[in-house]
Chain A
Amino acid sequence: MPIDFLYPEYEVIRNPQRCIACRVCERQCANEVHSYDQELNLMKSDESKCVNCHRCVALCPTRALKIVKTDHTFKTNANWTNEVIGEIYRQAGTGGMLLSSMGNPKPYPVYWDKILINASQVTNPSIDPLREPMETRTFLGKRPEKPERNLDGTLKTENLPPNLELSVPVMFSAMSYGSISYNAHESLARAAQELGIYYNTGEGGLHEDFYRYGANTIVQVASGRFGVHKDYLEAGAAIEIKIGQGAKPGIGGHLPGAKIVGDVSRTRMIPEGSDAISPAPHHDIYSIEDLRQLVYSLKEATDYKKPVIVKIAAVHNVAAIASGIARSGADIIAIDGYRGGTGAAPTRIRDNVGIPIELALAAVDERLRQEKIRNNVSLVVGGSIRNSADIVKAIALGADAVYIATAALLALGCHLCRSCQTGKCNWGIATQRPDLVKRLNPDIGYKRLVNLVSAWQHEIKEMMGGMGINSIEALKGNRLMLRGIGLNEKELEILGIKHAGE
């Protein structure tokens, strides 16, 4: 159907003067873009298959390759853009929903970039983290309303509900085994252990090899309940009930049968080759009181020894929802903003549903304080935390800790080509093909994750020191340390911050 022809979005540019025809590009491209012509002794490429993942570019020993956005275009139109036209052709041809991966790429405002951080001058000394202690240890969980005392008058320390202790307020967000590879999970688990933080299993269960990282694992219970059993619940340090995900609020998940092979099938406890379909809602939670029952069922099952996290997507009414969750018995609320990643989501939903995490966080923190229940729960936010400054801003807005996932995958080699749904991840992350999975060596991967979080920790300490703050808890909710730039009154009001210069 010529009507469906779409010129490839990206072109592979090979510099023939540099190419030595070593064929590494050909061997490393799971999309089979590159080929070698024996007769001409020339490398060729078929850019229609290219997803722009840069595997070939990164491995080319002579830097002979680059990928560029094509300048081929329809008549320029600010409304009917190339992308819009192309999508219509694709849908007219297939009758299907458009699928995408990773987070919302649209040019919505990034509020993190419109917030500035304070520093001390004269009236108050800045603190040098190289000379003075600078603390980032964080606890997540409920706090008792009143202290209790033993008969001898000493404080009863046992009345503290179960907590998570983090060396730095960063955790690896939920990514299921199945959506990402065994080696990716191993990297996350080992990094979490070395860093003294936590990673999250996602909804695909916990591979038996990784039970030994349980002390640094958050086990997730999602609507599909894949891989959930008593040992699984007991294996982790905390249990997360996933209600929603920032990339696709309000809808479930679908891991195609092709990815349900071998260990993935066994870990999920479903037959090989069967599609893993997570329903949109939990079918035992149709309202807030049902959530309370699930929270307490999980607590009963684990003898009240593990904090329960409830994860929701940031949607319009997020403050009221969070307030309900804070009263449901949950210990921690995780909120995922609309830029959060995914292994696959309907494009329209990913790009149009939900709200920015910055606004959701500010609204939730303020609401919980107004209702005097902020101390009943900890707040963890995710959905595009990109660097240490985002973390400092999130904590100053009121978060206890952040979840990172896209950033963690980038550290592992992801190049954000947003083609996870094809299952042919050239970087060995979002794939179950053994030849691709082995491309991610966890010895390298975990170290890179450790490096990333350690680097961020150094930067967080440096920024805290600049503000004259030497412990992260004094930054939490400290909105005076933030100023907005280029924000309107309403945005400033929601964020609860002043404008720069005020």
Chain B
Amino acid sequence: MKRIYVNEKWCLGCHLCEYYCAFANSGSDDMVKALKDIRIHPRIRIEEKQGISFAVSCRHCAEPLCVKSCITGALRADNGVIAVDKNKCVGCYTCIMICPYGAIMPGVDGSVVQKCELCTNNAFGEPACVQGCPNRAIVFEER
């Protein structure tokens, strides 16, 4: 299955992936309208320290702990893509606690969780962070 992989060697720490992610999941077709004067809640995050940076998002594990731990069955693996059913999520945050990569986070209002779903559920179709990365530090490929 194609997954998002990040390469620290080429990550410039420009944070564009976060913005493209936030835009992709905003439901808006205008980036300015979607992101101007708000605090963004991207599903991919740059972690950086001492000149090293890289993007972190869901790895879509083959044996996902988050799915196992979900108390309502809101998290499920859909052809390998781990997705959240917002109608089922009760915001217990068990998955956030258990994800070893810190790739699940509270949604905008905190009532449900959000995570990278490889842009399968938005208009982009393929990951916006990959398309927006200026240095191909984030790639979407079969490995």
Identify the A interface with B (CB < 8 A): 17-20, 22-24, 27-28, 41, 58-59, 61-62, 434-435, 438-439, 441, 443-444
Would you call B36 and A61 a contact (CB within 8 A)? no
Would you call B10 and A438 a contact (CB within 8 A)? yes
User: Which stretch from B66-74, B99-107, B128-136 is at the chain A interface?
Assistant: B128-136
Known A-B contacts A27-B14, A61-B19, A435-B51; the reply to A20 vs B136 at CB < 8 A is no
Q: Which residue of A lies closest to B20 (CB)?
A: A61
Q: Which residue of B lies closest to A27 (CB)?
A: B14
Least distance between B29 CB and chain A CB atoms (Å): 13
Report, nearest first, the 7 A-B pairs whose CB atoms are least far apart. Answer: A20-B35, A22-B19, A441-B10, A441-B135, A20-B36, A24-B14, A62-B32
Would you call A27 and B19 a contact (CB within 8 A)? no
Identify the B interface with A (CB < 8 A): 9-10, 12-16, 19-20, 23, 31-32, 35-37, 51, 132, 134-137
Would you call B14 and A28 a contact (CB within 8 A)? yes
Taking A22-B35, A58-B134, A441-B135 as given, write out 4 further A-B residue pairs in contact, using a Cβ cutoff of 8 Å, ordered by the A residue number: A23-B15, A24-B16, A27-B15, A62-B32
> In the assembled complex, which residues on chain A have CB atoms less than 8 Å from the CB atom of B12?
27-28, 435, 438-439
Least distance between B33 CB and chain A CB atoms (Å): 10
Known A-B contacts A17-B32, A438-B9; the reply to A22 vs B136 at CB < 8 A is no
Q: Which residue of A lies closest to B34 (CB)?
A: A20
Would you call A20 and B13 a contact (CB within 8 A)? no
Would you call B15 and A24 a contact (CB within 8 A)? yes
> In the assembled complex, which residues on chain A have CB atoms less than 8 Å from the CB atom of B13?
27
Greatest chain B CB density within 10 A among A19, A441, A444 is at A441
> In the assembled complex, which residues on chain A have CB atoms less than 8 Å from the CB atom of B51?
434-435
Would you call A41 and B14 a contact (CB within 8 A)? no
Greatest chain B CB density within 10 A among A18, A19, A24, A41 is at A24
Residue contacts A-B, CB under 8 angstroms, 20 given? A19-B36, A20-B32, A20-B35, A22-B19, A24-B14, A27-B12, A27-B14, A27-B15, A28-B14, A41-B37, A58-B134, A59-B14, A61-B16, A434-B51, A438-B9, A439-B12, A441-B10, A441-B135, A441-B136, A444-B136
> In the assembled complex, which residues on chain A have CB atoms less than 8 Å from the CB atom of B14?
24, 27-28, 59
CA gap between A22 and B135 in the complex, in Å? 18
> In the assembled complex, which residues on chain A have CB atoms less than 8 Å from the CB atom of B135?
438-439, 441, 444
Q: Which residue of A lies closest to B134 (CB)?
A: A59
CA gap between A19 and B125 in the complex, in Å? 26
CA gap between A187 and B31 in the complex, in Å? 33
> In the assembled complex, which residues on chain B have CB atoms less than 8 Å from the CB atom of A20?
19, 31-32, 35-37
Greatest chain B CB density within 10 A among A20, A58, A438, A444 is at A20
Would you call B15 and A62 a contact (CB within 8 A)? no
> In the assembled complex, which residues on chain B have CB atoms less than 8 Å from the CB atom of A434?
51
CA gap between A434 and B15 in the complex, in Å? 18
CA gap between A62 and B20 in the complex, in Å? 10
> In the assembled complex, which residues on chain A have CB atoms less than 8 Å from the CB atom of B9?
438
CA gap between A145 and B132 in the complex, in Å? 58
Q: Which residue of A lies closest to B16 (CB)?
A: A24
CA gap between A439 and B12 in the complex, in Å? 7
Q: Which residue of B lies closest to A440 (CB)?
A: B135
Specify which of B10, B16, B134, B137 is in contact with A22 (CB 8 Å cutoff).
B16
Q: Which residue of A lies closest to B137 (CB)?
A: A441
CA gap between A19 and B15 in the complex, in Å? 15
Q: Which residue of A lies closest to B133 (CB)?
A: A441
> In the assembled complex, which residues on chain A have CB atoms less than 8 Å from the CB atom of B20?
61
Would you call B10 and A18 a contact (CB within 8 A)? no
CA gap between A19 and B10 in the complex, in Å? 26
CA gap between A250 and B12 in the complex, in Å? 40
Known A-B contacts A20-B36, A439-B135; the reply to A59 vs B16 at CB < 8 A is yes
CA gap between A432 and B63 in the complex, in Å? 43
Would you call B31 and A62 a contact (CB within 8 A)? yes
Would you call A443 and B136 a contact (CB within 8 A)? yes
> In the assembled complex, which residues on chain B have CB atoms less than 8 Å from the CB atom of A19?
36
Q: Which residue of A lies closest to B19 (CB)?
A: A22
CA gap between A19 and B37 in the complex, in Å? 9
CA gap between A77 and B53 in the complex, in Å? 51
CA gap between A41 and B39 in the complex, in Å? 11
CA gap between A23 and B15 in the complex, in Å? 8
CA gap between A23 and B9 in the complex, in Å? 21
Greatest chain B CB density within 10 A among A28, A62, A434 is at A62
> In the assembled complex, which residues on chain A have CB atoms less than 8 Å from the CB atom of B134?
58-59
Least distance between B16 CB and chain A CB atoms (Å): 5
Least distance between A54 CB and chain B CB atoms (Å): 13
Least distance between B122 CB and chain A CB atoms (Å): 16
> In the assembled complex, which residues on chain A have CB atoms less than 8 Å from the CB atom of B137?
441
> In the assembled complex, which residues on chain B have CB atoms less than 8 Å from the CB atom of A435?
12, 51
> In the assembled complex, which residues on chain B have CB atoms less than 8 Å from the CB atom of A441?
10, 135-137
> In the assembled complex, which residues on chain B have CB atoms less than 8 Å from the CB atom of A17?
32
> In the assembled complex, which residues on chain A have CB atoms less than 8 Å from the CB atom of B19?
20, 22, 24, 61
Least distance between B1 CB and chain A CB atoms (Å): 22
> In the assembled complex, which residues on chain B have CB atoms less than 8 Å from the CB atom of A444?
135-136
CA gap between A184 and B125 in the complex, in Å? 33
